[in-house]
Amino acid sequence: MRVFAIADPHLSRLHPKPMTVFGPAWAGHPEAFFRGWRRVVGPEDLVLVPGDISWAMRLGEALPDLLDLAALPGKKVLLKGNHDYWWPSISRLRAVLPPGMYALQNDALVLEGVAVAGTRGWQYPPETEEEARVFAREVERLKLSLKALEGQDYRKLVVAFHFPPFGPKGEASPLLELAAEAGPQAIVYGHLHGADPERLPQAYRGIPLHLVAADVLRFRPKLVLTNDLY
C-alpha cells in the first residue's frame, strides 16, 4: 500500500463554482482533479485528503462530492478544512460514508500498518484573541488524535493538517512541535494556493513536510510514503 495526499479538492457538483476565479492553475477543474487522481493512485493505495473537500454548506449537498471521491481508486482519509462548512458531527458523517472512506476528528486511524493522525490546524501565529482560542483548541485536538494511537500496532505514521503547521517565516508552531514529537515519517498540509513549495520549509527535525494543495500539485496526488512499510 502506497500513501498519497492531496488537499483542497474544492468540489461543488450540486452548485458548480468555477475555480478559475482563483487563477489559471485551476483551469480544467474539477475534471483535472479526477483525471490526475486516476493517473497515479491504484486500488490498494491510501489517499489523505486534508480539508476543503466541498464548497457545500450542508451534508446533503456535499454527499455527491463525497461519492465522487469514493468512486476514485484507493481508500480515502478525510480531514476538515476551513471551508468545509457542511461537515456535521463526526458520528453523523461516518454514518453516511461509503466503505473505504474514513473521516478523522479527535482520533486516528491505522490501516495496514500505517497510522494517520491530524487536525485542521489554524493560522499561526494567531492575530486575535479569538484566533488564539481556536489555535489552542486545535492543539488539544491533535493531542487527542495522537493519544488515540496509544496501544495500537503500526509501523509508520503520517500527520495531516489543513493549515500549514508553521508561520509565515517558516517558524514552527506548537502543532508542528507536537507532531514532530510523535516521530512521523511525513507531515502533510494544504491551504496554500499558488505557493512555491521550494520557498517553504521542506523538513522539520528531519521529517519531510509536504504541501499537497491540489493546484500546487497540478491535481496529481503526491506520494508521501512508499509501500515499503517495514
Dist CA 28 CA 2 (whole Å): 27
What are the tens digits of pLDDT across the range 7-29? Answer: 999 999 988 888 877 888 899 99
| Boundaries of every domain in the chain | 3-225
Which amino acid is located at 168 in the chain?
P
pLDDT score of 75 more than 80: yes
Q: Tabulate helix, strand, coil % of the chain (nearest 5).
A: 30, 25, 50
pTM of the prediction?
A: 0.96
CB 112 within 8 A of CB 1: yes
**Do 36 and 221 touch, CB atoms closer than 8 A?**
yes
The predicted model gives 41-57 an average pLDDT of 97
Mean pLDDT (the chain) is 95
Per-residue pLDDT of 84-131, as tens digits, reads: 999 999 999 999 999 999 999 999 999 999 999 999 999 999 999 999
Question: 206 in helix, strand or coil?
Answer: coil
CATH number given to 3-225 = 3.60.21.10
Using 50, 70 and 90 to split pLDDT, how confident is the model at 230?
Answer: very low
Instruction: Count CA atoms closer than 13 A to 190's CA, side-chain side.
Output: 32
